[in-house]
Amino acid sequence: MNTVVTGIGLISSLGKNLETSWENLILDRIGISLKQPFLELTARPLALIDEQPTNAIELTQLAVAAALKDAGLEPPLVDCGVVIGSSRSQQAAWEEIQKSKVKSQKKGVRSQKNLISSAHLLTCSPTPHSRFPTPDSPIPTPEFIETLPNAIATAAARQIGTTGVVLAPMAACATGIWAIAQGTLLINTGQCQRVIVGAVEAPITPLTLAGFGQMGALATTGAYPFDRYREGLVLGEGASILVLESAELAQQRAAKIYGQVLSFGLTNDAYHANQPEPTGKSAIAAIKQCLERSNLTPQDTDYIHAHGTATQLNDKREAQIIEYLFGRRVPVSSTKGATGHTLGASGAIGAAFCLMALRHQVLPPCTGLRSPAFDLDLVTAPRYVKVENTLCFSFGFGGQNAVMSFGRW
């Protein structure tokens, strides 16, 4: 059974809808600027949608609504599947809960000290229970259940009124493509005729920034994928939701079709928590799986949307893999120099850009690239060419390798 894409909802630092994001991408504009959303941390280049970090649930609802409108659909969609993932999900809410807890602890300790001092009740020293919030502590918001990792997917399910399959994948930076792959499988195996898929990321939190900073992975001025002077990644917010349908259902209702999901390849390095396997053998295996299942050869590929994080290790290994399998004949670009690295949402955003390339027959530029470090056909300006088949790469921490192919319908 053929699976096609009939709607896209995309929100990024380049724009709050698909059309604006795509237009700004083709114009080689950058959605990255120096920001300091948290006073306890130094200013860094970030790709924020608004002036302050966004809320993951609200971002999900906006992207889902945009995708449904684009597909010409309205809730309720009771039989529609949902596969929406995130690598961070509601981490921002967890951090706020912990911050409130710490404040409550400090308040409780001060109150106890005052009580002990005034009444001289030495027997009232703090007990192990003082680690927990007191009855007058502020109630954490949002509600605890809304902070669980599956909260984004279940919020989307409530929004569209489905009683069908709901999945919430988490696979680091490979989450977006993995979600689209799971949705495609649901359609190809006949479990669903329509599935809302994609990924959402609101990763601008103190812990995420501090963690990537400790790793030495963050850039200091901007993101420059595949550039000789690349510094590291820039964290970005974003959401990309696709409406997948069986070709039969899409044609029955005369839906607009962006393109076809041909197939995918999923593997794991089983090597290191945050470093890619040096030879790239499992990433190569994922690409070969995808091509074989799609009935494509490297020569049939018209464009590769690379993972291209602008880090030293990722770009070097990815360039070696592309050169090994495709040589210099396939145009390549990474859009993270414009949108920032949206972590789990990056593959779904890349998928949307691949579909727009198929629809408009133009390849997006590798924004931020000025001095190429690798002998590849890197797209440095919008390129108007015939585009029939595209590949989208995502290589996440933990060695998660995800590759997906899209074809013109």
Residues 167, 185 share a domain? yes
Identify whether residues 185 and 281 lie together within a single domain: yes
Q: 19-78 pLDDT, tens per residue? A: 999 999 999 999 999 999 999 999 999 999 999 999 999 999 999 999 999 999 999 999
**pLDDT at 119 exceeding the cut of 70:** no
Q: Look up 307 and say whether it is catalytic.
A: yes
**128, pLDDT greater than 50:** no
* pLDDT score, position 1: 83
Q: Does 173 participate in catalysis according to the annotation?
A: yes
In this predicted structure, the answer to whether residue 136 has a pLDDT above a threshold of 70 is no
Same domain, 214 and 100: no
119 against 344, higher pLDDT: 344
**Residue 286 burial class via C-beta count within 10 angstroms: exposed 0-12, middle 13-18, buried 19 and up:** buried
Within this chain, do residues 134 and 149 fall inside the same structural domain, yes or no? no
In terms of domains, do 282 and 319 share one?
Answer: yes
360 is catalytic: no
CATH number for 200: 3.40.47.10
- Regarding whether 104 and 229 lie in a shared domain, the answer is no
- Is residue 167 predicted with pLDDT exceeding 90? yes
Asked if residue 233 and residue 104 are part of one domain, the reply reads: no
List 80, 305, 307, 392, catalytic entry = 307
Residue 4: inside a domain, yes or no? no
- Bridge pairing between strands 377-378 and 383-384: unpaired
Query: Which residues, at least 6 apart from 346, have a Cβ–Cβ distance to it below 8 Å?
Result: 173, 176, 201, 238, 307, 336, 339, 394
pLDDT at 124 over 80: no
Q: Name which residue leads in pLDDT, 190 or 108.
A: 190
Question: How many structural domains is the chain composed of?
Answer: 2
Q: Is residue 191 located within the same domain as residue 325? A: yes
Q: Are residues 158 and 124 in the same domain?
A: no
289, two tokens: 């799986």
Active-site residue (options: 192, 290, 341, 354): 341
SS3 at position 118: helix
Distance between CA 324 and CA 320 in Å, rounded? Answer: 6
Let me know: does 352 contact 368? Beta carbons within 8 Å: no
Are 98 and 218 found together in one domain?
Answer: no
**Domain around 124:** 94-141
| 27 and 107 belong to one structural domain | no
pLDDT for residue 149 is more than 50: yes
Last residue of a domain, one of 106, 141, 176: 141
3-class secondary structure, 263: strand
Interhelix angle 56-71/151-160, rounded to 10 degrees, is: 40
Q: Which is catalytic among the residues 173, 192, 366, 392?
A: 173
Indicate the pLDDT class of residue 108, thresholds 50, 70 and 90: low
Asked if 261 and 134 sit in the same domain, the reply is: no
Pick the last residue of a domain from 109, 141, 173.
Answer: 141
